[in-house]
Amino acid sequence: MIAKRERSKLERRLSAALTHACEQAKPQLPGFCWLTHEVDYQRFPESLVVTWVFDTHPHLANALKGEARRCINDLTAEALADAGVDVGDAAKHLDLDSEEACQREHGGDWQRRLRTKPTRH
């Protein structure tokens, strides 16, 4: 278990590193909107999930393929390394989603969607 003070420092490092990854990704990935992360610090780092959000399903589908997927994996791995987080294979801590799907399935409520979303891409 991580102490509260260390959690706060880690959260700041993660947020800064992932914000940088987000800004790098925007010009490279068509339809990419934003990303977020969730973690249960009692099960850290195994519980860490970084969710990349695209505007539409077609953009999401393209992001799941080839070079776009490699870009997402690489940017996530770099961000986690910059934050001092070792998860091994960063791809196992990724989820990709779309604004379109959240709107359709959860009325645009991302908090609810992220809490209840069982699958990862």
Number of domains observed in the structure of the chain: 1
Q: Identify whether 36 is part of a domain.
A: yes
Range of the domain at 85: 4-116
CB atoms within 10 A of CB 84: 11
In the numeric block, which tokens belong to residue 62? 């393209």
Task: State the chain's mean pLDDT as an integer.
Answer: 94
Q: Identify whether 17 is part of a domain.
A: yes
Instruction: List pLDDT tens digits, range 63-92.
Output: 999 899 999 999 999 999 999 999 999 999
pTM: 0.93
Q: Identify whether 89 is part of a domain.
A: yes
Q: Identify whether 30 is part of a domain.
A: yes
Residue 49, beta-bridge partner list? 38
CATH number of the domain at 56, please.
Answer: 3.30.300
Q: Identify whether 121 is part of a domain.
A: no
